[in-house]
């Protein structure tokens, strides 16, 4: 499986969208800053997983991730869809 995931920083409410084959490992990497690929998320955590989508095809997952990252409308629609899941995340 290939996963497109949506993280929210518990401290700053920053949003991050990514894709991976191992969702649990990737969340740990984002929160620990141990991966070369987590430069964007390294100093903005801790991160909370609030949403993910699963795909059987890698190209489908990559295309969805790209769409969410490069089209603000896609993120906006997704934020509306999961608005109750986002409540309280990042509130100080």
Domain with residue 8: its CATH number is 3.40.1440
- Judge whether 20 lies within some domain: yes
- Judge whether 43 lies within some domain: yes
Task: Give residue-wise pLDDT tens across range 27-67.
Answer: 999 988 776 666 777 777 799 999 999 999 999 999 999 99
> How much is the pTM?
0.83
Q: What's the total number of domains in the chain?
A: 1
User: Please, how many CA atoms are within 13 Å of residue 52, restricted to the half-sphere of its CB?
Assistant: 19
| Largest distance between two CA atoms of the chain | 39
- Judge whether 91 lies within some domain: no
pLDDT at 92: 43
For residue 35, the enclosing domain spans 2-86
């Amino acid at each position: 499986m290939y996963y497109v995931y949506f993280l929210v920083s518990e401290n700053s409410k920053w949003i991050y969208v990514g894709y991976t084959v191992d969702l649990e490992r990737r969340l740990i990497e984002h929160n620990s800053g141990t991966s070369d690929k987590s430069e964007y998320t390294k100093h903005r955590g801790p991160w909370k997983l609030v949403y993910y989508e699963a795909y059987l095809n890698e190209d489908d997952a990559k295309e969805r991730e790209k769409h969410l990252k490069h089209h603000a409308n896609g993120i906006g629609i997704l934020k509306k869809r999961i608005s109750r899941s986002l409540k309280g995340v990042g509130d100080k």
